[in-house]
Each structure stands twice: as C-alpha cells, then as structure tokens.
Amino acid sequence: MKHQLSKITPLETAKALHVAESQLERPEVTNGAPVYVQVRPHDIGERLELFQPRRPGYGLREVDTEYVKRLATRITRKGELDPVLVVKLAGRWVVVDGHHRLAAYRKLKLTTPIKCEWFAGTAREAMDAALLRNEKIHLPVEQADKSEAAWTRTLLDWNGKGWNSSKADIVKLTGASDGTVAQMRRVVKWHANFKSGVEKHPTGEKLSTALGPDLRRFSWNKVKTVLLDITPREWDMNEEAAKLARNLVMRMTTKLSDDPEVTARALWLYNRHLCPMLVEALQAVMRSEQEAERDLEDQEAYGRLGGDD
C-alpha cells in the first residue's frame, strides 16, 4: 500500500508497527558487531508510516529532490555511499535509514547490489534508530517533523506507561522542545480524563468535541489548529492549499524553487494582475504563521493550558 507522508497519522503508525513486530526477521548476532548484507536498490522497499521521520514540503514529497541530486553526483564521482540501514519484514528488505541514498541509487538506475546494514533490534527500536541516525547527518530533520515524531511517541505508549512515559526520553530522542512535549502530554491527559469523566477540563472538552474520542487519528499540526481556535474556513483553506501544492510537486517537481527570479517572472507572464494580490497574500500568510508559532511558544512557556508537567 502506498502511503502519503502528509496523510500518515499516529493511529496508522500504531497499526503498522503491530504488524511489523510480527513480520520482523532479525539477524543472528554473536559478537555485537553490525551485520552487513548486499541488496539491489530496487529490491529494497519503503514503509513511510514507520521509518521516514522527514516530511519534505510538509509531507508533499518523500525526499528532498535537490539533496538526492547531490548524492547521485557524489556516487558518480566517489562511488558507493555509507550503508543503508534496513530491516527484513515478511521476507522483504525495507529501508529504515537512507531514503535519500536509496533514491540516489535509483536515480542512477543502479542494478548491482549495495552494502546495507541489517538492523538487529526490534521494529520499535528501528523506528527510533531512523530518527536518531538522521540527527547525525548533514540534512536536518525539520522542527515540525520532530514535533510529529514526539506526538506519535506520546500517543503510542512508547515506554509502556501511556502519557506518564518519560518526557525527557521523548525530548532527547526526537529533538522536540521540552515545552512542546509537555504540552502534548497535557493534551493527551485532559482529553483522556474528559472522555472517561474523571476531569471536565475545558481543553479536554474542546478537543473531544472537535476531534472525537481518538487523538491518534490526527497529526499534531491538526491538534494545534484546535488549540489555537483556527476556524473551519481557515483549515479548509489550508487543505485546499495542500492539494494545490501536491499538484505542483507532481507536475513540476522542483522547477518553481530552482530559480526564484525565473519563477517570479513566470508568474508575472501567467497573470500580472494576480501578482500584487499574491505578494499581499503571501505576506499575510507569513505573518499568520509567525503569530501562530508565537502563540504556541507563549502557551508552552507560561503554561496557559495548565500546570507544569
């Protein structure tokens, strides 16, 4: 099944993780050393709902195409890159860390096997490894993606303790801020308590009314729209914008961002009357995004949504 990064929810990840744990085949490790295998690039599959912490362009594409081009050039000049990290699920190899390297090999139509490291841990540990290893390379994980990774782990009972699992561990693993993770834990707590009747916290009521009984069906980005009281019309506009962006990505890949001046001139030729309105609208969007980020930072810093956690 093909997954869109922009549509993957914590609930989908939870279901996929349950299946992966039953399908996982682990290597025999006797001395603790890494186990390496040779696998052809086109024989390595992807499970984006499990092992891709980055969501380039807000999940509109699977990889950063410019970075893939640079890696392909490096392969051509210097040969094979560092080993791709893989697991074996139901007899099939799946990339855990190295999606961009794999895309570069495929871009070059490489048919010979490449060196891969066979991850020896559990499926859950492999998810963590995908996140941790991405912190150690030159292409950073965006802060929004770190927040989504933290949200997933806050919801999925990562350490077997529900929302009482270690905040410090989630902060250290994902790179999300302490305040953000604390806010997530309060959100989960209030929602659960309101649903069970333990505590009728107004935020829990608001979340339950807007999102229903299962927060795992929603991204942290969607939950934030409820916390910030973003109107349905504003959310619908965001959805329509995401659809248009996906169409642009599918049809034009990176052409719009290759040369901003060429893009600006192309828009002028396309509809010169639109351009002044587009500039004004873009400035409004940038202001709105900055204000929303400041609102969340204020809530995290001063605990306006509740006490310390």
Q: pLDDT, tens digit, for every residue of 17-45?
A: 999 999 999 998 768 789 999 999 999 99
Q: How far from chain centre, in Å, is Cα 50?
A: 10
Q: What percent of the chain has pLDDT over 90?
A: 35
Under a CB-based contact definition with an 8 Å cutoff, are residues 53 and 130 in contact?
yes
Which is higher by pLDDT, 165 or 200? 200
Q: How far from chain centre, in Å, is Cα 216?
A: 15
**Residue 260 — pLDDT band, cuts 50, 70, 90?**
confident
The tens digit of pLDDT for each residue in 114-131 reads: 999 999 999 999 998 888
State the burial class of residue 146 (Cβ atoms within 10 Å of its Cβ: 0-12, 13-18, 19+).
buried
State the Cα–Cα distance between residues 58 and 144, nearest whole angstrom.
8
Does position 288 have pLDDT exceeding 90, yes or no?
no
| Domain annotation for the chain: domains and CATH numbers | 5-134 (3.90.1530.10), 143-231 (no CATH), 232-297 (no CATH)
Query: What is the model's pLDDT at position 215?
Result: 93
Q: What percent of the chain has pLDDT over 70?
A: 74
Under a CB-based contact definition with an 8 Å cutoff, are residues 245 and 9 in contact?
no
Does position 301 have pLDDT exceeding 90, yes or no?
no
Average pLDDT, stretch 163-187? 82
- At residue 25, what are phi and psi to the nearest 5 degrees? -115, 125
**Residue 60 — pLDDT band, cuts 50, 70, 90?**
very low
State the Cα–Cα distance between residues 32 and 247, nearest whole angstrom.
47
Residue 150 in tokens = 């933290």
Query: What is the model's pLDDT at position 17?
Result: 92
Listed range (33-47, 80-94, 245-259) with the worst mean pLDDT:
245-259
**Residue 168 — pLDDT band, cuts 50, 70, 90?**
confident
Query: What is the model's pLDDT at position 257?
Result: 64
The count of other CB atoms within 10 Å of the CB of residue 9 is 20
Query: What is the model's pLDDT at position 141?
Result: 66
Query: What is the model's pLDDT at position 117?
Result: 96
State the Cα–Cα distance between residues 222 and 227, nearest whole angstrom.
9
Query: What is the model's pLDDT at position 58?
Result: 47
DSSP 196-235: HTS---HHHHHHHHHH-S-GGGS-HHHHHHHHTT--HHHH
Average pLDDT, stretch 147-168? 73
The count of other CB atoms within 10 Å of the CB of residue 200 is 10
DSSP state of 157: T
Q: What is the mean pLDDT of the chain?
A: 81
DSSP 65-81: HHHHHHHHHHHHHH---
State the Cα–Cα distance between residues 309 and 178, nearest whole angstrom.
10
Listed range (99-113, 115-129, 255-269) with the worst mean pLDDT:
255-269
Query: What is the model's pLDDT at position 225?
Result: 84
Listed range (98-102, 194-198, 301-305) with the worst mean pLDDT:
301-305
Query: What is the model's pLDDT at position 132?
Result: 82
State the Cα–Cα distance between residues 87 and 90, nearest whole angstrom.
10
